[in-house]
């Protein structure tokens, strides 16, 4: 596989000159087994002589008015955002994503949160037996609401010849994890059964990473191979709960800004090699030992030190042009550990529950990061970039001790003096509870959507599905130009916010789906699909999940319908 060389190592060197010093998710969910009532002390307002990339003050940013957040929708006069939805398959429980390998079969693979991947063949028939069945491997999921489960799969770019597929799922807490934590996420490699192309050999599993979680929420959970460099990208949430505080969170700065932790980050690894170049991989990050060994774990008083076990050098390699592969930044006294994991590609995320590469253009990486109480965001992610959490929530200042209004002031840099990069879309909760990331449209069914980012909101209710679809149009000239290879060269113009408008679904009674929006995905021909269901959680007793194809507005068979689910018990929060 040919890999595009990207020069990144200079990012943090430049940043140091300037100064030294959110699965779906908006929830304020408090987990159990809390050992401290910590709050985040202010360590912000570090002066930095850098360009402001936060997009604060943009006319397209969301506003805070009358104690509520409001989205600035900006319809394009020459573009009518009308689509049709064609029902392709149904009877799923909680479908999270759909994807298709470039293997010539035309099959669609639907990943269901309850732990199964189902195949929809080229004739639209859902095969009765799962392609991958991890139900016996999962942590026990709450049927009313849960952010754990089987969250994504990704086919190797050479799947046609090597049969490798990767999965991100939530397993029960392993014995090496701190007592009282919630679960252990696995990033695993599987091999398709050589005797049956419609089934994975479950015994072929190789676990590339164990990631222990103190709380059930904020898993991130997305896997994606870059069409440009062939590497595997992994999105990880900040650890869970809310505000980036609590058990397993670095006091004062949180996990997302702590460069010595993998939480709140986008990782980038090479699954085709075990080479680590000049990288010095910490023994406790690659063996089976507990993370608390062989490190200065007492650099912070609380919270309990998180554990993760990675296998760089044995099951995968580190790209030498990862931002911290060969050059370590200054290890600040506020960090939990004394070295930066070389897998880190970008940081400053709350819960990057949706991530996808543009399959055309310049193969840009889009990440939808779930907000806290006020603002949702979509980011264009570049190597070495700091995307702001929990210094900022979207473009707005964030105060973890007062989360119902934007903070009065905050810095435009991270703790290394590097610029904070703002979103290309920021939305309020007038449109719904949490953003659901999608894809840049590169299909043929609706040419009017070409080059626009199609995404939406989960719902405006936790009990009755009422999701919304949105279309974001890039600034004039953006699609023709190439973004810089790394965040260090990013300019305000290149990071300008996009115009966004609601998508009208032909045949519906209004501009909403009338059901929960769960995810998106592409087939091998780059046509775009939408996933929905009618209940708020992974309730295995239900089968309301549907797979829809985006088609021209004249074709709708059938239109989505609203189903009011019966909810038992009390929901413990929505996708923080």
Q: Which residue has the higher pLDDT, 317 or 300?
A: 317
Model pLDDT, residue 282: 57
Instruction: Tell me the two tokens of residue 168.
Output: 């991100």
Between 81 and 154, name the one with better pLDDT.
Answer: 154
Q: Among 227-231, 460-464, 557-561, which is the least confidently predicted range? A: 557-561
Write the Ramachandran bin of 432: left for phi over 0, alpha for psi from -120 to 50, otherwise beta.
left
> What is the pLDDT, as a whole number, of residue 512?
72
User: What pLDDT was estimated at residue 296?
Assistant: 36
In 247-340, which residue ranges form alpha helices assigned H by DSSP?
283-286
| pLDDT of 4 over the 90 cut | no
pLDDT at 40 over 50: no
User: Residue 560 pLDDT > 50, yes or no?
Assistant: no
The CA distances from residue 260 to 305, 310, 342, in Å, are 11, 14, 10
503 has pLDDT over 70: yes
307 contact partners, CB below 8 Å, separation of at least 6:
176, 177, 178, 210, 212, 290, 291, 292
Which pair of structure tokens corresponds to residue 501?
Answer: 């408008």
Q: What is the mean pLDDT of residues 352-380?
A: 96
58-72, 101-115, 473-487: segment of lowest average pLDDT? 473-487
Evaluate if residue 484 carries a pLDDT over 50. Answer: yes
**Would you state the pLDDT for residue 366?**
98
Helices and strands: H and E segment counts in the chain: 3, 30
pTM for the model stands at: 0.88
For the chain, what is the largest distance between any 2 Cα atoms, rounded to a whole number of angstroms? 63
Instruction: Name the E strands within 335-446.
Output: 344-347, 354-357, 365-369, 376-381, 392-393, 396-397, 425-427, 435-440
Q: pLDDT-derived band of residue 478, with 50, 70 and 90 as boundaries?
A: confident
Half-sphere exposure of 472 (CA within 13 A, CB side): 30
Q: How confident is the model at residue 234 (pLDDT cuts 50, 70, 90)?
A: very high
Lowest mean pLDDT among 73-87, 88-102, 281-295, 482-496: 281-295
452-463: average pLDDT: 95
Q: Which two tokens stand for residue 258?
A: 């702590």
Per DSSP, 353 falls in state -
Query: Quick check: 289 pLDDT over 60?
Result: no
> For every residue of 485-508, which 3-state class applies, written as one string?
CEHHHCCCCCCCCCEEEECEECCC
Average the pLDDT over 126-130 and give the result: 98
Across 253-353, the runs of DSSP E, i.e. the strands, are 265-269, 308-310, 344-347
Q: How confident is the model at residue 554 (pLDDT cuts 50, 70, 90)?
A: confident
Residue 443 region by backbone torsions, left for phi larger than 0, else alpha for psi between -120 and 50, else beta: beta
pLDDT band at 299 (very low <50, low <70, confident <90, very high): very low
Does residue 303 have a cis bond before it (omega within 30 degrees)?
Answer: yes
Q: How far apart are CA 203 and CA 206, in angstroms?
A: 9
User: Residue 509 has what pLDDT?
Assistant: 54
Rounded CA separation 537/374 (Å): 22
Distance of alpha carbon 325 from alpha carbon 314, whole angstroms:
16
Choose among 467, 471, 432: nearest CA to 560.
467
pLDDT reading at 158 higher than 50: yes
Whether residue 103 is predicted with pLDDT greater than 50 in this model: the reply is yes
Confidence of residue 477 (pLDDT cuts 50, 70, 90): confident
Output phi, psi for 36, to 5 deg.
-150, 155
Phi, psi of 286 (to 5 degrees): -120, -10
What is the token pair recorded at 546?
């549907």
Q: Which pLDDT score is estimated for 278?
A: 67
Is pLDDT at 392 greater than 90 in this prediction?
Answer: yes
- CA pair distance 265, 270, nearest whole angstrom: 17
Handedness of CA 141, 145, 148, 153 (dihedral sign): positive
Higher pLDDT, 33 or 329: 329
CB neighbourhood size of 37 (10 A) = 7
SS3 sequence of 416-446: CCCEEECCCEEECCCCCCCEEEEEECCCCCC
Question: Regarding predicted confidence, which is higher, 476 or 56?
Answer: 56
- Confidence at residue 476, expressed as pLDDT on a 0 to 100 scale: 87
pLDDT for 198 equals 98
User: What share of the chain has pLDDT > 90, as a percent?
Assistant: 77
């Amino acid at each position: 596989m040919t890999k595009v060389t990207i020069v990144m190592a200079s990012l943090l060197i430049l940043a140091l000159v300037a100064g030294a010093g959110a699965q779906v998710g908006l929830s304020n969910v408090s987990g159990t087994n809390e050992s401290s009532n910590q709050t985040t002390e202010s360590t912000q307002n570090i002066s930095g002589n850098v360009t402001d990339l936060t997009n604060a003050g943009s006319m397209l940013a969301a506003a805070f008015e009358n104690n509520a957040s409001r989205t600035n929708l900006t319809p394009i006069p020459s573009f009518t955002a009308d689509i049709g939805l064609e029902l392709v398959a149904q009877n799923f429980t909680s479908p999270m994503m759909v994807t298709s390998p470039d293997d010539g079969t035309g099959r669609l693979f639907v990943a269901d949160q309850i732990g199964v991947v189902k195949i929809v063949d080229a004739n639209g028939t859902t095969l009765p037996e799962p392609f991958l069945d991890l139900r016996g491997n999962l942590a026990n999921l709450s049927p009313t609401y849960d952010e754990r489960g089987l969250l994504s799969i990704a086919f190797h770019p050479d799947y046609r010849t090597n049969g490798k597929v990767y999965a991100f799922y939530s397993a029960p807490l392993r014995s090496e994890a701190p007592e009282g934590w919630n679960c252990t996420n696995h990033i695993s490699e599987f091999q398709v059964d050589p005797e049956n192309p419609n089934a994975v050999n479950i015994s072929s599993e190789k676990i590339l990473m164990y990631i222990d979680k103190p709380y059930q929420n904020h898993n991130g959970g997305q896997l994606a191979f870059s069409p440009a460099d062939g590497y595997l990208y992994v999105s990880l949430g900040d650890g869970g709960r809310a505000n980036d505080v609590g058990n397993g969170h670095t006091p004062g700065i949180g996990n997302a800004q702590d460069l010595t932790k993998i939480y709140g980050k986008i990782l980038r690894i090479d699954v085709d090699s075990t080479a680590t170049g000049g990288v010095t991989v910490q023994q406790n990050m690659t063996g089976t030992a507990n993370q608390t060994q062989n490190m200065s774990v007492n650099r912070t008083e609380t919270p309990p030190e998180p554990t993760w076990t990675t296998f760089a050098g044995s099951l995968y390699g580190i790209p030498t042009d990862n931002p911290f592969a060969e050059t370590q930044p200054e290890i600040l006294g506020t960090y939990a550990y004394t070295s930066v994991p070389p897998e880190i590609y970008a940081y400053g995320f709350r819960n990057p529950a949706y991530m996808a590469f543009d399959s055309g253009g310049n193969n840009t990486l889009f990440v939808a990061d779930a907000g806290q109480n006020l603002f949702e965001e979509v980011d264009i992610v570049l190597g070495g970039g700091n995307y702001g959490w929990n210094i900022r929530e979207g473009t707005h200042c964030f105060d973890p001790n007062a989360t119902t209004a934007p903070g009065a002031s905050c810095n435009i840099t991270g703790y290394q003096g590097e610029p904070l990069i703002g979103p290309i879309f920021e939305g309020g909760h007038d449109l719904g509870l949490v953003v659901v990331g999608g894809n840049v449209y590169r299909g043929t069914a609706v040419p009017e959507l070409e080059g626009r980012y199609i995404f939406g909101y989960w719902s405006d209710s936790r009990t009755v599905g009422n999701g919304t679809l949105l279309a974001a149009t890039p600034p004039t000239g953006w699609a023709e130009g190439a973004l810089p290879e790394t965040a260090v060269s990013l300019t305000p113009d290149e990071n300008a916010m996009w115009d966004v408008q609601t998508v009208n679904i032909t045949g519906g009674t209004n501009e909403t789906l009338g059901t929960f929006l769960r995810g998106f995905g592409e087939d091998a021909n780059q046509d775009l699909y939408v996933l929905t269901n009618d209940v708020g959680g992974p309730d295995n007793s239900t089968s309301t999940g549907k797979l829809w194809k985006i088609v021209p507005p004249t074709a709708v068979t059938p239109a989505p319908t609203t189903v009011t689910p019966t909810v038992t018990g009390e929901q413990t929060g929505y996708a923080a």
